[in-house]
Amino acid sequence: MTRILLPVTVIVIGAALIAEPKAQTPTAAILAKVDAAVSNGPFAPNWKSLEHFAVPAWYEDGKFGIFIHWGLYSVPAFGNEWYPRNMYKKGTPEFAHHVATFGRQSTFGYKDFIPKFTAERFDPAQWAALFKEAGARYVVPVAEHHDGFPMYDCSLTDWSAAKMGPKRDVIGELATPCARRASSSASRHTAPSIGGSSTRASCSIPTSAIQKTPRSMGRR
6 and 100 in a single domain? The answer is no
Residue 127 has pLDDT above 90, yes or no: yes
pLDDT for position 20: 53
Q: How far apart are CA 90 and CA 137, in angstroms?
A: 42
Return mean pLDDT, the chain. 78
In tens, the pLDDT along 156-210 reads 899 999 999 999 999 999 999 988 875 444 444 455 444 433 333 333 333 333 3
The more confidently predicted of residues 13 and 61 is 61
In tens, the pLDDT along 61-95 reads 888 999 999 999 999 999 999 999 999 999 999 99
- Non-local CB neighbours of 52 within 8 Å, separated by 6+ positions: 42, 43
- Non-local CB neighbours of 73 within 8 Å, separated by 6+ positions: 80, 81, 82, 83, 84, 145, 147
29 and 119 in a single domain? The answer is no
12 and 62 in a single domain? The answer is no
9 and 106 in a single domain? The answer is no
**What CATH number has the domain bearing residue 140?**
3.20.20.80
Longest distance between any two alpha carbons in the chain, whole Å: 89
Range of the domain at 92: 44-218
158 and 65 in a single domain? The answer is yes
Q: How far apart are CA 109 and CA 84, in angstroms?
A: 9
Q: Could you give the number of structural domains in the chain?
A: 2
34 and 52 in a single domain? The answer is no
pTM value > 0.75: no
Q: Which of 181, 175, 173 is nearest to 203 (CA)?
A: 175
48 and 148 in a single domain? The answer is yes
62 and 27 in a single domain? The answer is no
Instruction: Taking residues 6-27, report their average pLDDT.
Output: 50
CA atoms within 13 A on the CB side of 12: 5
